[in-house]
């Protein structure tokens, strides 16, 4: 008997994650404007799921700072204040400097202790592929895919650092980073992406100081470029 495809209509394996990403995307790219009142029931109907996944997604987005909720009063899309960008960048600078430093230290440790572990290789390979994909995107000029690739790269570095705490923290602010990046991709996108390879090289070389320096500079450049463009004197 032929094993027919058991999924005529492919069911969602994880509606929660999908809904969360969809809502965040809609906020970042303007489809859901700040101040909009979002109710669980409406979103549930919109994405074809029940209220529970929507609820979890809203909680996560609240932690990321994209929506605000008051008990029994509902949720609204947050105003994303441009003022916060500078502070966010300063935090991100410290955070990502730490992940890069640790990633380099861990890479050196992996190689000095015989063969690197399988999961390390997997993460490393994933990053290599990501760099290629990003380069191609830059070459082809479709910059709109860069924000997501960018955040995946930085999360990948955090993965390599082996620190669950730092990774979780970066994941928390990754949404905001994507938002900042999306607003400035036309200006800094190309150059910013090209810096990723040198960071990766420093990590591969097992040079913590250099990796930290490059990553700090990378983030700092983004910061300067952003503030230069959206200066609020």
Partner DNA sequence: TTCGGACGGCATGTATACAAAATACACCGT
Partner DNA sequence: ACGGTGTATTTTGTATACATGCCGTCCGAA
Binding-site ranges for a copy of itself (CB under 8 A): 14, 56, 59-60, 63-65, 68, 71, 78, 81, 83-84, 87-88, 90-91, 93-95, 97-98, 102, 163-166, 168-169, 172-173, 176
Per CB under 7 A, the list member of 1, 2, 14, 139 interacting with DNA is 14
Nearer to DNA, 69 or 198 (CB): 69
Dihedral (CA of 131, 120, 123, 225) sign = negative
Select from DNA, a copy of itself, none the partner in contact with residue 69, using the beta carbon and a kind-dependent cut-off of 5 to 8 Å. DNA
Per CB under 7 A, the list member of 22, 26, 40, 195 interacting with DNA is 40
DSSP for the chain, please give it. Answer: -----S-SSPPPS-HHHHHHHHHHHHHHTTSS-TT-EE-HHHHHHHHTS-HHHHHHHHHHHHHHTSEEEETTTEEEEPP--TTHHHHHHHHHHHHHHHHHHHHHHHHHHHHHTSSPPHHHHHHHHHHHHHHHHHHHHHHHT-GGGHHHHHHHHHHHHHHHHT-HHHHHHHHHHHHHHHHHHHHHHHHHHHHHHHHHHHHHHHHHTT-HHHHHHHHHHHHHHHHHHHHHHS---
Nearer to DNA, 94 or 164 (CB): 164
> Pattern 145-184, binding to DNA, x per CB under 7 A?
----------------------------------------
- By CB under 7 A, is residue 69 in contact with DNA? yes
Task: Say how many C-beta atoms besides its own lie within 10 A of residue 112's C-beta.
Answer: 8
Question: What is d(CA 120, CA 128) in angstroms, rounded to the nearest whole number?
Answer: 12
Min dist CB 81 to a copy of itself, Å, is 7
Select from DNA, a copy of itself, none the partner in contact with residue 74, using the beta carbon and a kind-dependent cut-off of 5 to 8 Å. DNA
Binding segment (CB under 7 A) for DNA, from list 47-55, 96-104, 127-135, 223-231: 47-55
Select from DNA, a copy of itself, none the partner in contact with residue 51, using the beta carbon and a kind-dependent cut-off of 5 to 8 Å. DNA
Per CB under 7 A, the list member of 28, 32, 38, 149 interacting with DNA is 38
Under the rule (CB under 7 A), what is the footprint of DNA?
Answer: 11-16, 38-41, 49-53, 55-56, 69-75
């Amino acid at each position: 008997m032929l094993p027919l495809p058991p999924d005529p209509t492919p069911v969602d394996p994880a509606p929660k994650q999908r809904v969360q990403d969809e809502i965040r995307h809609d906020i970042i790219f303007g489809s859901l404007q700040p101040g909009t009142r979002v109710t669980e029931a409406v979103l549930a109907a919109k994405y074809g799921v029940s209220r529970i996944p929507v609820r979890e997604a809203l909680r996560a987005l609240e932690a990321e700072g994209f929506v605000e909720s008051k008990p029994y009063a509902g949720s609204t899309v947050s105003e994303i204040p441009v003022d916060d960008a500078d502070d966010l960048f300063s935090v991100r600078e410290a955070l990502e400097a730490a992940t890069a430093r640790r990633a380099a230290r861990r890479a050196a440790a992996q190689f000095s202790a015989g063969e690197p572990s399988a999961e390390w290789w997997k993460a490393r390979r994933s990053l290599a592929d990501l760099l290629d994909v990003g380069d191609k995107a830059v070459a082809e000029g479709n910059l709109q895919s860069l924000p997501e690739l960018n955040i995946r790269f930085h999360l990948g570095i955090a993965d390599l650092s082996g620190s669950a705490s730092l990774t979780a923290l970066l994941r928390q602010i990754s949404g905001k980073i994507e938002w900042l990046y999306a607003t400035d991709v036309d200006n800094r996108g190309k150059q910013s992406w090209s810096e990723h390879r040198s960071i990766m090289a420093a990590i591969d070389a097992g040079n913590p100081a250099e990796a930290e320096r490059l990553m700090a500079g990378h983030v700092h450049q983004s910061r300067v470029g952003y503030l230069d463009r959206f200066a609020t004197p």
